[in-house]
Structure 1
Amino acid sequence: MNIVPEPGPLRLLAASTLVNTFGNGLWMASSALFLTRSVGLSVGQTGLALTLAALVSMTASVPMGYVADRRGPRGILVAGLLALATGTAAMTLVDSFGAFLLVALPMAVADAAQRAARGAVIAGAVAPDRRVYTRAYLRSLTNVGIAAGAACAGIGLVVDTRAAYVSLILGNATTFVLAAALLSRLAPIAPTPAPTTGPRLVALRDRPFLVFVVLDGLMATHFGLFEVALPLWIYLRTDAPHWLIAVLFLVNTGAVVLFQVRAARGTDHLGGAARASRRAGFALLIACVLFAASGATTSAVTVGLLIAGAAVHVFGELWHAAAGWGISFGLAPADAHGQYQGAYSMGMQLGQMLAPLLVTALTVGWGTPGWLLLGTAFALIGCLVPPVVRWALATRPTPHVEEPAPATAG
């Protein structure tokens, strides 16, 4: 992977991603404490508000993608980031549950718009055989930016005053503005005309693509393993030292930064992307088996199993991400990348909403049988993706040519 990308769209996308995700790290590390300690929301209110915002964002994804296609994705991406900057700054004025919803729900719509538009910008600004590489490169930078932002947020968390939290939030708002300014330097991407016949939201009528979105969303529940289930499993069901949780997060983050681009090779055509999804499913199965085994061992063996499971899990994560990009780009009509990217993001959001309850109930609540059931489900989902992709290809009016793109240096 080239550390500094070549001049052009990728460099602008990379710079804006690094700036924006630094701000995301500031918010992710401080938002829970800000909302509970400074605003005064209860834990239940915070969880409810964030869930409602996620539902609004998921519902708005395809319509906002349609708007990006019709109006031009670069403009919608910039407008969405500026709207998020405004909403983030308004967070400093929130003093109640109702006020938080008044700010958070419009922000959810803006977030849906910028997510869908970002995918369409990549589709319009980057050559087809470089789209998956671009998404992989940007995901590596995302982890760098979030880690750096979270580290800086630690200063505010130590101070633990309202002024410190407000400073972090305004810092996040500033990064949205800076990211929008960088992206405004991209060449405009021409809007596509609305279809004269047939449905407008074609992504919602594309049954095989929607089946893929659901499968991909169910696979995405594996993110909840690291965020929720595994820390609780280590704390409650193993004798591993609690500091190992931080080590496993470092393993995951570092591997994404170092290997995401390499793991994405071969997924810029549909056949390779479908096979990567199958590999991801079996890797996640192996990881679940290793995590389950750690509950019946002691000391160094437990630590070794957990580290091995984390290493295998992250490769499942890398293949899963790359497969989703390749399939979502490869199945989208040229005039509907915005709404197809919006629909693809719906699956990820579905997985994020299901994950905390589902994976925790299966793993921590049920123990070893739950781990094995979850791993088997991941493998089955991965095996279902290739036939669904073949079904989708069979429904396309113009056959796709399944030829691997030339290898990309990375």
Structure 2
Amino acid sequence: MSWVPAFPGRVPYLMAGAIDALGNGFFAAFSLLFFRQVTGLPMAEIGFGLSVAFVATLLASPAVGAGIDRFGAKRMLVAGNLLSATGFAGYLVVDDLPLLIAAATLASLGNRVYYPGSSALIGDLVTGRDRDALVAVRSTVLMSAVGLGGLASGLAVGFGGYQVVAIVQVVSYTAAAALLLRVAVAGPARSAAPGAGGPGLLTVLRDRRFMAFIVISLPISFAQDVFIWALPLYAGTELHMSPPVIGALSAWNTALSALTQLPVSRLQRRSRRTRGAALGALLYAVAFAAFGLAGWLPGAITLGVATTIYVLAERVQLPPLEALKISMAPVRLRGRYMAAYSMLCGGLTAAVAPLLFTLALSVSPLLLWSVLGTGVLASAVGYLWLGEQPELESEAATAPAGHVTGNR
């Protein structure tokens, strides 16, 4: 495993991510259909209950960040996995709206811990360019596992019913939590760090550079939601593509992501992170132009080409952007910084993207792709303006034993 940065517990760390992603791929294949079949509630109630849980846990993001800084990213991730496991176990007994909201809140809270906790843990485990490498390896493992989970889900549900989706999620979250306990995190306890219990969120909001980074990244966050919300609707209603074609695009997206992340990252090993982030944004713009042309050119072929460019944009941008985000946060407040980014740049866009995408498509597909393309072009300029973020000298003290330097 010479392609993986060396740190104690790297095997259980990657195994935890793979098992977690396998369960998520299993669930993603059915999503809302799972809730309808398992709970038996009307779709309107399901949508309302899930929205309430999402908003409630989004508002808990500052507390999540404070918890990461006080107790450490690993402990919070373990707790988050167990919360998600409890939530999915609860879905098996849900028969009314209050129970649905309770179970969904637990599952959603675990998900809310996952994003800032994962970023903070990468910052705890490795430093420097090893962060870019670890993000690339982890992304490859996760995308491969998600694809396998999606492939296995149809067969498993056919034999065991939709309840098997919840059972698989409970097992995968629990196993991931157990594996994370075996990951060694070096450095001082977060609770002993100066200022860990202070008004850290205000410090984040006053950090002009980091807040500028969040604003610059907002169009990218919307771009990352295109394949979830906009593309299936666009391909199905505007281009009249059949479900097998849409499914094939999704499968191609997952497979190409898993196959290209490591080669792409190796090509970028000596590039500046902000340049990698800007290049990814430019590729997003090209992809959105290609998606828009699918209405005038052969639809399926054009969508395939556009999807390929879209995946390359993701793969080019993910490692440098994630590493840049981590490097901008002081060690003692890293949890709060990651939680603020997750709430303002990830959570809010996820909440409004379905509505905005739907409204734009109802006016004109050209409007949707033009606005998205203009936004990511602005992000590309913004990343180049932002410039590089030097690694904090204080982070050298937290580098784990056995750490490999300079591999990128």
User: Is TM (by shorter chain) over 0.5?
Assistant: yes
2:290 paired residue number:
290
345-354 or 281-290: which moved more? Answer: 345-354
| 1:355 aligned onto 2:353 | yes
Q: Which amino acid aligns with 2:235?
A: I
- 1:203-352 mapped onto 2 (5 Å cutoff): 203-238=204-239, 242-265=243-266, 272-297=272-297, 301-346=298-343, 347-352=345-350
1:139 aligns with 2:139: yes
Residue 7 of structure 1: how far off its partner (Å): 7.7
- For 1:44, the equivalent position in structure 2 comes to 44
Matched to 1:143, the amino acid is: M
Q: Name the CA distance, whole Å, in 1 between partners of 2:13 and 2:55.
A: 27
C-alpha distance in structure 2 between counterparts of 1:29 and 1:265, whole Å: 31
Q: 5+ residue gaps in structure 1?
A: 399-404
Is the counterpart of residue 183 in structure 1 residue 180 in structure 2? Answer: yes
Change (3 A) 1:318 1:185: same
Q: Distance in 1 between matches of 2:147 and 2:5?
A: 21
Distance 1:304-1:60 versus aligned 2 partners, 3 A rule = same
Give the equivalent residue in structure 2 for 1:378: 376
Alignment CA distance shift 1:61-1:44 (3 Å): same
Q: Does 1:165 find its partner at 2:162?
A: yes
Alignment deviations for residues 126-164 of structure 1 (CA, whole Å, 9 cap, x no partner): 2332112112211121112122222222124435xxx62
1:402 counterpart residue number: none
The answer to whether residue 94 in structure 2 is matched with residue 97 in structure 1 is: no
Q: Is the 8 A contact 2:86 2:106 kept in 1?
A: no
- Residue 38 of structure 1 and its aligned partner are, at CA, apart by 2.9
What is the match of residue 87 of structure 1?
A: 87
- 1:69 shift after superposition: 1.8
Residues 73 and 191 in structure 1, CA contact (< 8 A), matched pair in contact too:
no
Give the match's secondary structure for 2:41: coil
What secondary structure does 2:129 align onto?
Answer: helix
Q: 1:118 to 1:242 in 2, by over 3 A?
A: closer
Deviation at 1:20, TM superposition (A): 1.0
- Structure 1 pair 196–86 and aligned structure 2 pair: CA distance change class (3 A): closer
Whole-angstrom CA distance in 1 between matches of 2:144 and 2:260:
13
Alpha-carbon distance, 1:32 to partner: 1.7
State the secondary structure of the residue aligned to 1:44: helix
TM-superposition CA deviations, 1:212-250 (whole Å, max 9, x none): 223323312123322232222222333655533223222
Deviation at 1:275, TM superposition (A): 1.6
CA distance in 2, matches of 1:303, 1:77: 40
Task: Spell out, residue by residue over 1:306-353, the C-alpha distance to the aligned partner (whole angstroms, 9 max, x if none).
Answer: 222111111222233223202211101122222222223221222322
Within 1, Cα distance between the matches of 2:239 and 2:286? 19
2:364 to 344, 362, 366: 366
Answer yes or no: is the 8 Å Cα contact 1:58–1:345 preserved in 2. Answer: no
1:116 and 2:116 equivalent? yes
Seen in structure 2, the aligned counterparts of structure 1 residues 303 and 113 have a Cα distance that, compared at 3 Å, is: closer
Q: How many residues matched?
A: 393
Is the counterpart of residue 70 in structure 1 residue 70 in structure 2? Answer: yes
CA RMSD of aligned residues (A): 3.0
* TM-score computed with the length of structure 1 as normaliser: 0.85
TM-score, reference length from structure 2: 0.85
Shift of 1:291: 1.5
Q: 8 Å contact 1:263–1:322 — kept in the other structure? A: no
The offset of 1:182, in angstroms, is 1.0
Alignment deviations for residues 14-46 of structure 1 (CA, whole Å, 9 cap, x no partner): 100111111112222234223213312222332
Deviation per CA, 1:162-220, whole angstroms, max 9, x where unpaired?
Answer: x6222321221011111111111112444222535963333233233123223323312
- Aligned-residue identity in percent: 25
Deviation at 1:76, TM superposition (A): 1.9
Which residue in the other structure is 2:22 paired with? 22
Could you tell me whether the CA contact under 8 Å between 2:200 and 2:333 is conserved in 1? no
Q: What corresponds to 1:401 in structure 2?
A: none
Q: Kindly tell me: are residues 180 and 214 of structure 1, through their superposed partners in 2, closer, same or farther at Cα, counting changes over 3 Å? A: same
Aligned partners of 2:61 and 2:175: how far apart in 1? Answer: 24
Q: CA deviation at 1:2?
A: 6.6
1:218·1:350 contact (CA, 8 Å) conserved in 2? Answer: no
CA spacing shift, 1:361–1:389, aligned 2, 3 Å = farther
CA distance in 1, matches of 2:2, 2:52: 39
Shift of the alpha carbon at 1:267? Answer: 7.0
CA–CA distance in structure 1, aligned partners of residues 5 and 274 of structure 2: 28
1:104 positional shift? 1.6
CA contact (8 A) 2:74 2:117 kept: yes
Runs of 4 or more consecutive aligned structure 1 residues displaced over 6 Å after TM superposition: 1-7, 266-269
Q: Quick one: structure 1 residues 83 and 196, their matched pair in 2 at CA, closer, same or farther if it must change by over 3 Å?
A: closer
Are the structure 2 counterparts of residues 145 and 291 from structure 1 closer, same or farther at C-alpha, using a change threshold of 3 Å?
same
- Contact preservation (8 Å) 2:264, 2:315: yes
